[in-house]
Amino acid sequence: MNFSSDNASGAAPEILEAIRAANNGTARAYGEDVWTARLEKEMARVFACDVWVYPVLTGTAANALALAAVVPQYGAIFCHEGAHIATEECGAPEFFTGGARLVTLASRDGKLSPGQIERALAQFEKGSVHHAQPAAVSITQASDFGTCYRPEEIGAISSLAHSHGMKLHMDGARLANAIAFLGCTPAEATWRTGVDVLSYGATKNGAMGAEAIVFFNEEHARDFGYRRKKAGQLASKMRYVSVQLVCAFEEDRWLRWANHANALARQLAMRLATVEGVEIAWPVEANAVFAFLTDALIDRLHARGVSFYEWNAGSDGRRLVRLMTSFATPEDDIKRLIEAASG
Ligand SMILES: Cc1ncc(COP(=O)(O)O)c(C=O)c1O
């Protein structure tokens, strides 16, 4: 039973079939193929607006290049201290922006609030050459703690960011899970509430490996083609990347897959909460369950072959774990995990 990550799951059969179907004859290389053109149309339909879409191979590339497009090298980027860009990307955002500074902010639920961004901003003197200049806020949706920003929360952050001349970036590695939870439209979750640039992730939700940088304003996309090529992210056989994204959006598969993952996470949290030695750490809104477990319970689960990660629990010494579900998690795995936990 593997609850370590949604990346641990394979690719959905529909994705593999779409790749196979695209593997028919020749196609124009470097993103000039029909699937990449279809992707932009498909995303314009899904997001109900004009979009400028640049598929890439990893979420790290999507985040780092999206930020580099809207932040100068002397800029400051405000993000949560647990954000993937700050903790898991080996300095790629700093590297690709040419040295912009990440300013990390703490909160218990993984989300930023306008108040804390405002307090952090007070430490940066605008126009002073001695200070990095506030340039962007980056939020993660669903957050790295599995919680989701409500559209009004995104709107409040974007209003603040824009009033200070900053851009709002969204790391949407799990945007599908957030939208499935919120029940809002993709437009309400992004550009309508002020998101300027989105890193959209499909890999964790059914794809084999497909991410995209999505601009909602043509101005921000200017020259981006050079940036992606220089970063080694312009795949020559782009059709295989683009077709995965097209397939996920068609027939709303992305939401169906995310709904499955979310439903199983909710089920897992509800049942795990009844087991002795378990405290669910915060509300389960997407496909991650964070829980405090006793040492004995952690040992028992590992001994029964359950894979999951331990998280940094902070100062109180308790052990926090993350259990993740995916589009492919079998319902039976929840039952088996609860049996293992119950001894
Ligand atoms: C919040 C978040 N953003 C982005 C990524 C994508 O990273 P990559 O595809 O480079 O592993 C991940 C993957 O774990 C993630 O959790």
Residue 253 beta carbon below 6 angstroms from any ligand 1 atom: no
Could you tell me the two tokens for 61? 């590339």
Determine the distance separating the centroid of ligand 1 and the alpha carbon of 88, expressed in angstroms: 8
Residue 73 beta carbon below 6 angstroms from any ligand 1 atom: no
Determine the distance separating the centroid of ligand 1 and the alpha carbon of 127, expressed in angstroms: 34
3-class DSSP string for the chain: CECCCHHHCCCCHHHHHHHHHHCCCCCCCCCCCHHHHHHHHHHHHHHCCCCEEEEECCHHHHHHHHHHHHCCCCEEEEEECCCHHHHCCCCHHHHHCCCCEEEEECCCCCCCCHHHHHHHHCCCCCCCCCCCEEEEEEEECCCCCCCCCCHHHHHHHHHHHHHCCCEEEEEECCHHHHHHHHCCCHHHHCHHHCCCEEEEECHHHCCCCCEEEEECCHHHHCCHHHHHHHCCCCCCCCHHHHHHHHHHHHHHHHHHHHHHHHHHHHHHHHHHCCCCCEEECCCCCCCEEEEEECHHHHHHHHHCCCECEEECCCCCCCEEEEEECCCCCCHHHHHHHHHHHCC
Residue 146 beta carbon below 6 angstroms from any ligand 1 atom: no
pLDDT of residue 314: 58
pLDDT of residue 135: 98
Residue 110 beta carbon below 6 angstroms from any ligand 1 atom: no
Atom in ligand 1 nearest the alpha carbon of residue 204: 13
pLDDT of residue 26: 97
Could you tell me the two tokens for 60? 């790290």
What is the per-residue pLDDT across 235-278, written as a single tens digit (0 to 9) for each? 999 999 999 999 999 999 999 999 999 999 999 999 999 999 89
Determine the distance separating the centroid of ligand 1 and the alpha carbon of 84, expressed in angstroms: 6
Confidence of residue 133 (pLDDT cuts 50, 70, 90): very high
Confidence of residue 343 (pLDDT cuts 50, 70, 90): confident
Confidence of residue 313 (pLDDT cuts 50, 70, 90): low
Residue 40 beta carbon below 6 angstroms from any ligand 1 atom: no
The residues with which 75 forms a beta bridge, in sequence order, are 133
Residue 140 beta carbon below 6 angstroms from any ligand 1 atom: yes
Could you tell me the two tokens for 314? 């902070």
Confidence of residue 297 (pLDDT cuts 50, 70, 90): very high
What is the per-residue pLDDT across 81-122, written as a single tens digit (0 to 9) for each? 999 999 999 999 999 999 999 999 999 999 999 999 999 999
pLDDT of residue 80: 98
